[in-house]
Structure 1
Amino acid sequence: MAAILESLLGSCANKLQNIISDEAILILGVEEELAEVLRRVELIRCCIYDAEKWRTKELAVNNWLGQLRDVIYDVDEILDVARCKGSKLLLDNPSSSSRSASYKGLSVSSCFCNIGSRHDVAVRIKSLNKRIEKISKDTTFLTFSSSTQPTGNGPTSKVIRSSNLVEPNLVGKEIIHSSKKLVDLALAHKGNKSYKLAIVGTGGVGKTTLAQKIFNDKKIKGSFKLQAWICVSQDYNQVTVLKEVLRNIGVYHEQGETIAELQRKLAETVEGKSFFLVLDDVWHPNVWADLLRTPFHTTNSGVILVTTRDDQIAMRIGIQHTHQVDLMSAEVGWELLWKSMNIAEEKEVHNLRNTGMEIVDKCGRLPLAIKVTASALASKDLTENEWRKFLGKYSGSHGMLSDEIEGALYLSYDELPHRLKQCFLYCALYTEDSIIYRGVVTKLWIAEGFIMEQQGQLLEDTAEGYYYELIHRNLLQPDNTIFNQAQCRTHDLLRQLACKLSQDECFIGDVETLRGENMSKLRRLSVVSKKDKLVLTSMDNMVVKVRTFLAFYGPWKIEDAFFKRFLLLRVLALNYSIVRNIPDSIAKLIHLRLLDLGHTGISHLPESIGSLKNLQVLSLINCDALHSLPSGMTQLCNLRCLRLTGTKVNKVPKGIGKLNLL
């Protein structure tokens, strides 16, 4: 938890520094109270690294960290409230742009309004200061020592973006030999009805990398009429898999088509043609036996390449040849380490060879862990002292994570600037093997407040820089067949790490399984449910602190009471659900930054939507029943993105053109 809190504290301190001189704060006259909050946050921030060493050993430390997390989130929320109230006063009294002028020339009613707003905000800030003071005087805190560890405020490195198809960083003779052998096998059996190959090995060992090299081989491309690459994952959806196969071969599918209809369409498309199909990350044999075998029976010839961790899965699919991928040798692992650091020749780091070998062993000789570690080492000086210091950190990470592999990945996370830490952990909300779209995830990061404003640069551009930085550090895996790497995934080992680090405040799954006390601690929910109606756990007399609520795929109906309970939401994504109505009570969600209602059945939006002064993104993609927008939308002064693709809106309110950020 301390690792997450370090990034929260850093983000909170930056926001406080930026907002104290804001006109909306000056007119309220609470800058001194906020300056005191900043001073105390900075004090605690100096000792948070020491807390990490103790957190697995002392229950008291965990409790203390939990209290600190809650108060930092509350600081973030009061900053929102203060900015909103101050901005309203500025709109009512445009001549009052500083504290000295805040009462001058105002009407009596305006003065009382100002006093009332200031009192409300000041009381809440004073209460927060008392809570922070209590936390800083706790005996647990007094046992920590100040740290000179870097706080990750430095700029992220500039990443070169490329639209070219980039082959993975391959090293060693083994992968070249293995690739040639499997390509030759595929070509030798291309006349078979369905010849099946499998690449088997533990997670992160390089199965997908080898499969990509085979899939991209020119001989394969030239020998098969149709090719498709499908990420299956542990909890796959049959309809999604069939649609993805059809998309890969350029076939359009209709909304609402059944499994049988999709299978029939696939069978008609591949009939009489040759086919090369990759099923990556298979956990269940049914994906072939029950779903794809029948439609592919119509092919003239075909080769199916499966990657899996379990050789029993391969046997049950009926694999004719299995290729086992073993751990890298220490020599090849060392080669991968320095090449992944963009070092041209080994002689540049030959003096670090022995230490490098130790690092490779700590990574379990897994390619994924080695590449991620290399990205972290790339920012270090090429000296024995620096590498030894990095290696020494492993002893500090063992207590937190289950084995050395996760320890290696954790160190690379630990080296991230605090802004990137939050962005990486947020990706844990995506289900296994989900596609992460750059344009979507960057907007989610902005809505959560992870993206800090930089002079002369749009927030969206800064967020894209973070996205490419995570790719550069091998923490996100891009789809290099997509222009500018606009889609990516999180490797399951890295996703497990992100889930473990954020488990105190994030939940992915069926929310109906949550107990009330667990719900009260959560900040982010990603709903996975196959039920017709989303029924939330009983929340009587419970404060819900959730900031992000993602329900990417339905169908669900959501009770109106939802909008009265989740009052701290910044992100609400109900896309692909069968929600038809948005109640007036949505006006209570004053913190909301992003509202995604794409692919839903809504026919109108309430006028009260104009109360969402912080709303930045409104997505209404493919809302077929929506034909007009309410006049209240002209009040959305911070709206910077309105998405209407595929929506038949024929009436927009007068004055919408005055929204300057659109």
Structure 2
Amino acid sequence: MAEALLGVVFENLLSLVQNEIATTFGIKSKVEKLSTTLDLIKAVLEDAEHKQVTDRSNKVWLQQLKDVVYVLDDILDECSIESGRLRGSSYFKPKNIIFRREIGQRLEEITRRFDEWRQTSSFIAEPKVFGREDDTKKIVEFLLTQARDCEILSVYPIVGLGGIGKTTLAQLVYNDVRVSSNFNTKIWICVSDAFSIKRILCSIIESIIGGKCDALDLDVLLRKVKELLKGKRYFLVLDDVWNKMQQLAFGLSQEKWNTLKSVFMCGSKGSSILVSTRDEVVAAIMGTCQAYPLYGLSDNECWLLFKQYAFGNDKEEREELVPIGKDIVKNVCI
């Protein structure tokens, strides 16, 4: 049902982009941004529903996305109705000006809400991932050998440039069947630029108990997480961690990490945390072992990835377009 609604809304957005009324309303750039965002969200929702998600925190996140899509659908309906009503009348009537302003403000709010919820999740939205087999194998082997035999908590950072595939690699490791069978509990948290101790603790609680976390007191949260993790061999992914600096006051600091780590240490032998970050300082603060550096794909892997998007999984590549495609890959491949 969600996929069907998203398909309709996506088509309506594309139609609105091509309609002159989007330009007249002054909302064309907002609509184009929403179209790109919806395309990404559609892939995540389809994959999540296909896998019959049961994790509480992910179910809440998915429902919130669906709710915003319904609101967006209503806004698009109003734009369509107004477009028909305005044909032949002046766009500069006070009533029409007020409508345009209200629509612009509502789309701005929808965009903001989508941006807030465009967090990462443990679901792999891509039909096939290229070039990360060896990376996945190395990290999984570390978790099942060195980390499993370690008496203290293992924190393994993945470090690489933004957009290079750190989250995808973490997803591949998280969903590996060997990892799933090795740990009593698995938890995925997208940290992003705000390293909030309370939010991280609440997310852990919600993921484990499958219910909403209402506690506000930090001490209560710390005690609850310690109780839930005690004696368990758990696997925790902290995705997209940022360092605290002058421009990012809410990022990670040594003090914040010390507070969380004191609770994470209560797990049983073999408990592990996988951290993804673009910042080597984050890796130095959190890591208990040497960071795993992630590099770009090879030319051939870039081509396979490009070909998937350009020609699709079930379509044969058009011979006359292959040289053009390979030239594009050479220019854009990291």
TM-score category, normalised to shorter length: 0.5 to 0.7
| Map of 2:265 onto structure 1 | 297
| Map of 1:313 onto structure 2 | 282
Given the two structures, how large is their TM-score scaled by the length of structure 1? 0.32
Against the structure 1 CA distance between its residues 16 and 318, is the aligned structure 2 distance closer, same or farther, given a 3 Å change threshold? closer
Shift of 1:15: 4.6
Structure 1 position 244 matched with structure 2 position 199: no
| Map of 2:160 onto structure 1 | 201
Q: Distance in 2 between matches of 1:73 and 1:331?
A: 58
Q: Distance in 2 between matches of 1:276 and 1:330?
A: 33
Structure 1 position 186 matched with structure 2 position 239: no
Against the structure 1 CA distance between its residues 15 and 355, is the aligned structure 2 distance closer, same or farther, given a 3 Å change threshold? same
Shift of 1:171: 4.1
Structure 1 position 286 matched with structure 2 position 286: no
Over aligned residue pairs, what C-alpha RMSD do you find?
Answer: 3.3
Structure 1 position 262 matched with structure 2 position 221: yes
Percent identity of the aligned residues?
26
1:122-170 Cα shifts (integer Å, max 9, x gaps): xxxxxxxxxxxxxxxxxxxxxxxxxxxxxxxxxxxxxxxxxxx655344
1:443-482 Cα shifts (integer Å, max 9, x gaps): xxxxxxxxxxxxxxxxxxxxxxxxxxxxxxxxxxxxxxxx
Q: Distance in 2 between matches of 1:264 and 1:17?
A: 57
In the alignment, structure 1 segments of 5+ residues that lack a partner are 21-33, 39-70, 82-164, 367-662
Shift of 1:246: 1.1
| Map of 1:86 onto structure 2 | none
Against the structure 1 CA distance between its residues 78 and 204, is the aligned structure 2 distance closer, same or farther, given a 3 Å change threshold? closer
Q: Distance in 2 between matches of 1:323 and 1:37?
A: 61
In the alignment, structure 2 segments of 5+ residues that lack a partner are 1-16, 27-78, 103-122, 244-251
Matching of residues 429-578 of structure 1 within 5 Å: none
Secondary structure at 2:266 match in 1 = coil
| Map of 1:358 onto structure 2 | 327
Shift of 1:10: 6.0
| Map of 1:9 onto structure 2 | 23
Residue of structure 2 aligned with 1:336, choices 305, 324, 327: 305
Shift of 1:357: 2.4
Q: Distance in 2 between matches of 1:190 and 1:73?
A: 69
Does structure 2 conserve the Cα–Cα contact (< 8 Å) formed by 1:8 and 1:72? no
| Map of 1:168 onto structure 2 | 126
Secondary structure at 2:90 match in 1 = helix
Q: Distance in 1 between matches of 2:231 and 2:141?
A: 23
Shift of 1:255: 2.6
1:344-402 Cα shifts (integer Å, max 9, x gaps): 4785233222221233344x325xxxxxxxxxxxxxxxxxxxxxxxxxxxxxxxxxxxx
Shift of 1:194: 0.9
Residue of structure 2 aligned with 1:77, choices 98, 111, 115: 98
Against the structure 1 CA distance between its residues 7 and 223, is the aligned structure 2 distance closer, same or farther, given a 3 Å change threshold? farther
Q: Distance in 2 between matches of 1:180 and 1:324?
A: 14
Residue of structure 2 aligned with 1:222, choices 169, 172, 181: 181
Q: Distance in 2 between matches of 1:346 and 1:224?
A: 39
Structure 1 position 322 matched with structure 2 position 291: yes
| Higher relative contact order (CA closer than 8 Å, sequence separation 6+) | 2
Secondary structure at 1:348 match in 2 = coil
Residue of structure 2 aligned with 1:177, choices 117, 134, 137: 134
Does structure 2 conserve the Cα–Cα contact (< 8 Å) formed by 1:280 and 1:306? yes
Identify which range, 267-276 or 313-322, moves more after superposition. 313-322
Pick the structure with more helix per residue: 2
Is the radius of gyration larger for structure 1 or structure 2? 1
Against the structure 1 CA distance between its residues 191 and 4, is the aligned structure 2 distance closer, same or farther, given a 3 Å change threshold? farther
1:613-661 Cα shifts (integer Å, max 9, x gaps): xxxxxxxxxxxxxxxxxxxxxxxxxxxxxxxxxxxxxxxxxxxxxxxxx
Number of corresponding residues: 234
Does structure 2 conserve the Cα–Cα contact (< 8 Å) formed by 1:171 and 1:332? no
Matching of residues 364-383 of structure 1 within 5 Å: 364-365=332-333
1:503-549 Cα shifts (integer Å, max 9, x gaps): xxxxxxxxxxxxxxxxxxxxxxxxxxxxxxxxxxxxxxxxxxxxxxx
